[in-house]
Structure 1
């Protein structure tokens, strides 16, 4: 009988060990351990990455936090050839003011009796549309070529022609409406629409202001500009009034205000897995960890706080995977974390503690042994 008990005990222990070994590979976990992340950097094939400890040298060598779209907008500004916005084109509506002194077409003096009276001044406003072919039709003057001229050039031509029928004509020409020297604003803007470009040479931020601005947080907005076949997009909060990215708008530019809501994600051994919005122009790693409620006291390894990032330098054609590591048990790490900026789409991983996995394994073995112990005592 004793021999059977020993055999049963051995079989039971063997079964428990097998289940425990199997359990080691399948223990529930909310993320990898620090050693697993480091080992993955050595073994990863599909998405190779490297682990870098955050240090002053690493922080100084980080690629600039400025969006690449800023450089693209600056390039658009340099490649443009701004000209006058008030050239007359087909389809424009012109406001023509004609002033006369003495005898003239619109002065009202039409008889000999009128001629002996003191000279009088008169004015007449004519609204005319430039038809296809660039011609504008005017009373007494007939068709006049307008397209391709500036308002003062057309005014000089009209004044020259009026001298044949008017004593002292003066002419002022303005473009009251146009479909050509305009920029289009759309998207998350208060007053989307078509806006005329004037001699003030409106810049990008000027046009955003003219359109009423955006009701969204500036940190959550991108400005996308399309000029012909060229497209550039950059965060609104990175475009300053003095920068080249605040480019002068050209006719037919299309400006779109795009919502992007930049954020980072906190995963692993933390009290709350979450996606957190970057609602400030700059958020450092200390602030990001605090917003994510930090590593869990019960299950996290404070030596292994990792920032997973797809990083693209100024000379990189494709982004490269980099994992930055912070050891929160070192006091100096808190200063370094204040200098390390968190970027859009970063993933902060609080690694699991190895002791946490050991505790889970011990709990699993206890749960497996407890039902067997009464049977062993019954066999004694």
Structure 2
């Protein structure tokens, strides 16, 4: 067969089957010119859910995002029943009214902390006439009752007051993207997650406030301060304990990737208040009107990994499809909230895919034409 005829046959075959046209296209993600995959290779299982973006889907997603309760009955109950437990190194001030000689030695001009009673390594303090008192793990009210009972044998109806002059035994650790990383002391005032971050100057501008990590007794949980601050979901706020570790990561990884037929494909940092699909497209200088297919705007979202009965991984993903051929589509895009690591892809128009195919095919036609000329000359 003549080489030119062979090239023409290839051209006709390519025209009849647009799925072999090279270039990115969501409708043919699995089509390739040839397959060089090793025979022993087993592709990972995938579970992809396809969801069109419409008013019904947006209403459902918004309802899911706002389903957290606004109140926090568990936190309120924990705060109302909170009592500080005395620890090692704390300094107590024990006052017996009408008996100043028991409180501050004569001729001394020391402050409450300097003149107080430090809880020793064995958990005890010493007080005149009361002797050695084991106070570790007790509340100030319980220590008051203990001192009153001991002094009753030497003082008639003693009036006792016990306070913690210096809280040194308990603390939480705040690290990461906060103004002043460091230690927040646990005192007789209940300390919540929000309080601890505020004590350290608040969040930095580059804080990933949707993924704050709290580690307690070796277990870590993720807490979203975004839903707390934006929606008043106080269920995300908790009462802290001694030894808790709070880490606020940076938002460097909280990016959105805008690819395909946009004027400036790029990775965008996630906005502090959230980013919508319309905002992401606008940040990429909009779609390329001469090349893009407005009917094919996709959001690819990785939703995690599950396991089958043989413990093999199954990668799950959701693909949201927006038809923005009309202005209504962009109105929907403005209501569709993106999440970190989402991939926004704008499909090329059919003519764009065809032109790209021709740009790759023409060099081959030219080469075959030259081969034909050589054969004719011979």
TM-score (norm 2): 0.73
Deviation, structure 1 residue 269: 2.3
Shift in alpha-carbon separation, 1:100–1:273, aligned structure 2, 3 A? same
- Return the alpha-carbon distance in structure 1 between the equivalents of residues 289 and 173 of structure 2: 54
Q: Is the 8 A contact 1:49 1:322 kept in 2?
A: yes
Q: Which moved more, 1:231-240 or 1:299-308?
A: 231-240
Q: Which moved more, 1:255-264 or 1:133-142?
A: 133-142
Deviations 1:227-274 (A, max 9, x none): 335432123222246612122223333222222442211122223321
Shift in alpha-carbon separation, 1:79–1:273, aligned structure 2, 3 A? farther
- Return the alpha-carbon distance in structure 2 between the equivalents of residues 363 and 39 of structure 1: 19
For 1:330, the equivalent position in structure 2 comes to 326
Shift in alpha-carbon separation, 1:219–1:265, aligned structure 2, 3 A? same
Aligned length: 347
Residue from 122, 130, 143 that aligns with 2:132: 143
Q: Is the 8 A contact 1:20 1:364 kept in 2?
A: no
Deviations 1:38-72 (A, max 9, x none): 999xxx9832324332221222233756499x79x
- Return the alpha-carbon distance in structure 2 between the equivalents of residues 47 and 323 of structure 1: 12
Q: Secondary structure at the match of 2:222?
A: strand
Deviations 1:121-155 (A, max 9, x none): xx997432223443212345432232343224433
For 1:343, the equivalent position in structure 2 comes to 339
Deviations 1:261-312 (A, max 9, x none): 4221112222332111111423222112111223223432221111112347
Q: Secondary structure at the match of 1:362?
A: helix
Q: Is the 8 A contact 1:101 1:167 kept in 2?
A: no
Residue from 264, 271, 275 that aligns with 1:272: 264
For 2:92, the equivalent position in structure 1 comes to 94
Shift in alpha-carbon separation, 1:165–1:365, aligned structure 2, 3 A? closer
- Return the alpha-carbon distance in structure 1 between the equivalents of residues 44 and 150 of structure 2: 81
Q: Is the 8 A contact 1:91 1:130 kept in 2?
A: yes
Q: Is the 8 A contact 2:79 2:190 kept in 1?
A: no
Residue from 177, 200, 205 that aligns with 2:189: 200
TM-score (norm 1): 0.72
Q: How does 1:281-320 map to 2 (within 5 A)?
A: 281-311=273-303, 320=316
For 2:216, the equivalent position in structure 1 comes to 227
Deviation, structure 1 residue 209: 0.7
Q: Is the 8 A contact 2:84 2:188 kept in 1?
A: yes
- Return the alpha-carbon distance in structure 2 between the equivalents of residues 259 and 47 of structure 1: 30
Q: Secondary structure at the match of 1:47?
A: strand
Q: Is the 8 A contact 1:263 1:278 kept in 2?
A: yes
- Unpaired runs of 5+ residues, structure 2, are 33-42, 305-313
Q: How does 1:139-178 map to 2 (within 5 A)?
A: 139=128, 141-159=130-148, 161-162=150-151, 170-178=159-167
Deviation, structure 1 residue 347: 0.9
Tell me whether 1:255 sits opposite 2:242 in the alignment: no
For 1:315, the equivalent position in structure 2 comes to none
Deviation, structure 1 residue 361: 3.5
Shift in alpha-carbon separation, 1:156–1:18, aligned structure 2, 3 A? closer
Q: Secondary structure at the match of 1:207?
A: helix
For 2:3, the equivalent position in structure 1 comes to 11
- Return the alpha-carbon distance in structure 1 between the equivalents of residues 44 and 147 of structure 2: 76
Deviation, structure 1 residue 13: 3.1
C-alpha RMSD of the superposition:
4.4
